[in-house]
């Protein structure tokens, strides 16, 4: 059901006062008294649920606990209603316990309550959507959210997309049959995750992306289909059609440098053009980006690096090294925040790039995006590259790879790395910050088991430690500016 057609205000067990009914009618709302057993059935057509405190604290808390999850999964606003100031204070305490951001502990007039409900947008009500999903068993809670997001479709085909490190469910949703007015042949990309994380991603998109990355270089978020439940939310985006993943495109492209130029100097131009310079701690921003991170897998890679590459620092000593690094002068701007190859596509038969997944978009170190992409291309599930070649490529101070030094089959990778280092650090003041950024993403690479075999992750850890040690020595000796 369309959001604007959800006009019912449900009153749990106890009916509304006449003054509220009158205020509701004036706002084109209707009232209905329901039991807990009826709530799930009538919720798709409703806008809000009102639970009245009747003086029995135990009964009231039980009603709130049982009804709130159902109501919020259907998008309803939960309104807790009392009759006096003492009641209102109790309701505030209860509302804070269920901190969904939509509870209304109302001590105001009936007209105020009706107005707040009338202005609330519950999103679409669950429709009778048929799900064709032979390879992905749709969990009931996900099915309800999808039925709300695609309430206007008759049937959709669902295919799961391998998730990243975030743990979000990512689905490829294709309309099979739709009403003529909204017929659509292109699929959607649907992300389902923790409600607060999805809300933050949506906010980050609006704040950092919508006005700074041209719409030709990113999918649009379909705000009409944004849905929140009690603990999960759904973000629906347009599908990136006629595009191939970056790694595959670079391997086939005649000039990978053109692709990197389009990425950094066209798609991200507006983001990187508004910047400032700061001399401050640069480790913390990369911790916030989950690059410098601790994990048992990192401890394992560090131990293996000591055995295979005589790396002198274990993971606890790495923390001491990071803490000892001085503030570094670096450029800050709007960044994608997770620019690994899986989040970059290239349009067929051109150099035009398209970016997806802006969950980590923020204002941060300008070197973060190119460094993240470089490590993703060269290390994560990489082509068969000899360890020695990677060691040479990631020896401090990270010079541009010499032309013709790579095997012919991997020349695209060397050219891509060279372009990222050249375009990603346009100012000589970025030398030290870029080195730290590369080390940060090497540490992230080493800290996940799914990125590569243990031996390769150990090599990444060893290279990161070597870069950080040399960077610290050069700054202390005054050979480079921090």
Distances from the Cα of 169 to the Cαs of 114, 190, 236, 283, 410, in angstroms? 36, 8, 12, 30, 33
Whether residue 203 is found in the same domain as residue 266: no
Mean pLDDT rounded to a whole number for the chain: 89
Whether residue 389 is found in the same domain as residue 405: yes
List of long-range contacts for 211-218, beta carbons under 8 Å, 24+ apart:
211/270, 212/270, 212/271, 212/274, 212/334, 213/267, 213/268, 213/270, 213/271, 213/355, 214/267, 214/270, 216/352, 217/266, 217/267, 217/352, 217/353, 217/354, 217/355, 218/267, 218/354, 218/355, 218/356, 218/358
Whether residue 441 is found in the same domain as residue 354: yes
- Give 38's contacts (C-beta < 8 A, 6+ positions apart): none
Whether residue 423 is found in the same domain as residue 298: yes
User: Can you give the residue range of the structural domain that contains 450?
Assistant: 243-477
Q: Is residue 482 part of a domain?
A: no
pLDDT of res. 201: 94
Whether residue 175 is found in the same domain as residue 197: yes
Q: Is residue 429 part of a domain?
A: yes
Return d(Cα 251, Cα 260) in angstroms, integer.
13
Coil/strand/helix, residue 240: coil
Residue 213: other Cβ atoms inside 10 A: 23
In this model, does residue 61 exceed pLDDT 90? Answer: no
Sorting pLDDT into bands at 50, 70 and 90, what band is 179? low
Q: Is residue 403 part of a domain?
A: yes
Give the mean pLDDT of 111-136: 90
Whether residue 105 is found in the same domain as residue 7: yes
In this model, does residue 182 exceed pLDDT 60? Answer: no
Whether residue 275 is found in the same domain as residue 385: yes
**DSSP classification of residue 221:** B
- Give 351's contacts (C-beta < 8 A, 6+ positions apart): 253, 255, 258, 259, 261, 262
pLDDT of res. 230: 87
| Poorest-pLDDT segment among 261-275, 336-350, 366-380, 400-414 | 400-414
- CA dihedral of 437, 298, 338, 416, whole degrees rounded to 10: 60
CATH of the domain at 178: 3.30.200.20
Residue after which a domain boundary falls, among 238, 273, 298? 238
Computed on alpha carbons and rounded to an integer, the radius of gyration of the chain in Å comes to 27
Q: Give the residue carrying structure tokens 């990197």.
A: 260
Residue after which a domain boundary falls, among 238, 270, 288? 238
Task: Convert the pLDDT of each residue in 256-294 to its tens digit.
Answer: 899 999 999 999 999 999 999 999 999 999 999 999 999
Return d(Cα 116, Cα 109) in angstroms, integer.
11
Which phi and psi (to 5°) does residue 456 adopt?
-70, -35
Whether residue 442 is found in the same domain as residue 463: yes
Coil/strand/helix, residue 204: helix
CATH of the domain at 62: 3.40.50
Give the mean pLDDT of 70-96: 79
Return d(Cα 271, Cα 366) in angstroms, integer.
9
Give the mean pLDDT of 22-46: 95
Whether residue 340 is found in the same domain as residue 217: no
Q: Is residue 125 part of a domain?
A: no
Q: Are strands 46-52 and 8-12 parallel, antiparallel or unpaired?
A: parallel
Q: Is residue 306 part of a domain?
A: yes
Q: Is residue 333 part of a domain?
A: yes
What sign has the CA pseudo-torsion 414, 420, 421, 426?
Answer: positive
- In 356-477, where do the E strands start and end? 362-365
Sheet holding 353-355, edge to edge: 243-245, 344-347, 353-355
| Poorest-pLDDT segment among 91-95, 153-157, 169-173, 301-305 | 91-95
Whether residue 171 is found in the same domain as residue 314: no
pLDDT of res. 322: 97
CATH of the domain at 247: 3.90.1200
In this model, does residue 123 exceed pLDDT 60? Answer: yes
Q: Are 291 and 443 in contact (CB under 8 A)?
A: yes
| Poorest-pLDDT segment among 10-19, 102-111, 285-294, 383-392 | 102-111
Task: Convert the pLDDT of each residue in 288-327 to its tens digit.
Answer: 999 999 999 999 999 999 999 999 899 999 999 999 999 9
Q: Are 31 and 8 in contact (CB under 8 A)?
A: yes
Q: Which of 163-177, 300-314, 378-392, 394-408 has the highest mean pLDDT?
A: 300-314
Domains identified in the chain, total number = 3
- What would the two tokens of residue 416 be? 């891509």
pLDDT of res. 154: 87
Q: Is residue 105 part of a domain?
A: yes
Which phi and psi (to 5°) does residue 459 adopt?
-65, -40
Q: Is the peptide bond before 397 cis (omega within 30 degrees of 0)?
A: yes
Residue after which a domain boundary falls, among 206, 238, 270? 238
In this model, does residue 36 exceed pLDDT 80? Answer: yes
Whether residue 294 is found in the same domain as residue 232: no
Q: Are 380 and 338 in contact (CB under 8 A)?
A: no
pLDDT of res. 176: 82
Sorting pLDDT into bands at 50, 70 and 90, what band is 47? very high
pLDDT of res. 56: 84
Distance spanning both ends of the chain, measured CA to CA:
58
Return d(Cα 130, Cα 147) in angstroms, integer.
9
| Poorest-pLDDT segment among 129-138, 214-223, 425-434 | 425-434
Sorting pLDDT into bands at 50, 70 and 90, what band is 217? very high
Q: Is residue 56 part of a domain?
A: yes
Which phi and psi (to 5°) does residue 458 adopt?
-65, -40
Sorting pLDDT into bands at 50, 70 and 90, what band is 163? confident
- What would the two tokens of residue 231 be? 């603990």
pLDDT of res. 283: 97
Whether residue 278 is found in the same domain as residue 150: no
Q: Are 360 and 330 in contact (CB under 8 A)?
A: no
Sorting pLDDT into bands at 50, 70 and 90, what band is 428? low
Rounded to two decimals, the pTM is: 0.86
């Amino acid at each position: 059901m369309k959001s604007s057609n959800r006009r019912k205000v449900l009153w749990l067990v106890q009916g509304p006062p006449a003054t509220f009914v009158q205020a509701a009618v004036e706002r084109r709302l209707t009232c209905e008294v329901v039991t807990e057993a009826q709530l799930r059935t009538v919720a798709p057509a409703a806008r809000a649920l009102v639970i009245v405190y009747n003086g029995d604290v135990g009964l009231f808390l039980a009603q709130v606990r049982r009804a709130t999850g159902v109501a919020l999964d259907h998008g309803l606003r939960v309104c807790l209603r009392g009759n006096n100031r003492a009641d209102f204070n109790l309701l505030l305490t209860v509302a804070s316990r269920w901190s969904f951001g939509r509870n209304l502990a109302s001590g105001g007039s009936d007209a105020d309550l009706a107005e707040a409900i009338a202005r609330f947008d519950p999103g679409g009500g669950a429709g009778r959507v048929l799900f064709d999903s032979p390879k992905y068993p749709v969990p009931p809670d996900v099915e309800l959210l999808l039925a709300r997001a695609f309430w206007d479709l008759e049937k959709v085909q669902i295919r799961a997309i391998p998730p990243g490190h975030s743990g979000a469910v990512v689905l490829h949703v294709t309309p099979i049959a739709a009403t003529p007015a909204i017929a659509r042949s292109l699929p959607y990309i649907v992300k389902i995750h923790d409600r607060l994380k999805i809300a933050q991603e949506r906010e980050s998109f609006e704040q950092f992306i919508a006005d700074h990355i041209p719409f030709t270089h990113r999918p649009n978020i379909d705000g009409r289909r944004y849905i929140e439940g009690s603990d999960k939310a759904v973000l629906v985006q347009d599908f990136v059609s006629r595009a191939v993943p970056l790694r595959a495109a670079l391997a086939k492209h005649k000039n990978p440098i053109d692709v990197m130029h389009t990425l950094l100097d066209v798609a991200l131009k507006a983001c990187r053009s508004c910047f400032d310079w700061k001399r401050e701690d640069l480790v913390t921003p990369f911790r916030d980006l989950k690059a410098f991170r601790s994990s048992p897998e990192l401890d394992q890679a560090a131990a293996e690096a000591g055995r295979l590459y005589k790396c002198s620092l274990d993971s606890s000593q790495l923390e001491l090294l990071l803490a000892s690094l001085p503030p570094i002068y670096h450029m800050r701007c709007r960044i994608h925040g997770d620019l690994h190859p899986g989040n970059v596509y290239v349009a067929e038969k051109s150099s035009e790039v398209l970016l997806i997944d802006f969950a980590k978009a923020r204002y941060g170190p300008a070197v973060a995006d190119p460094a993240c992409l470089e490590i993703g291309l060269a290390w994560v599930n990489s082509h068969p590259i000899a360890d020695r070649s990677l060691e040479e490529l990631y020896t401090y101070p990270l010079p541009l790879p010499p032309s013709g030094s790579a095997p012919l089959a991997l020349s695209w990778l060397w050219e891509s790395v060279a372009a990222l280092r050249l375009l990603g650090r346009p100012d000589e003041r970025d030398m030290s910050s870029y080195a730290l950024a590369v080390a940060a993403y090497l540490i992230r690479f080493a800290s996940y088991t799914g990125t590569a075999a243990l031996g390769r992750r150990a090599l990444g850890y060893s290279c990161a430690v070597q870069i950080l040690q040399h960077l610290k020595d050069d700054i202390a000796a005054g050979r480079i500016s921090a």
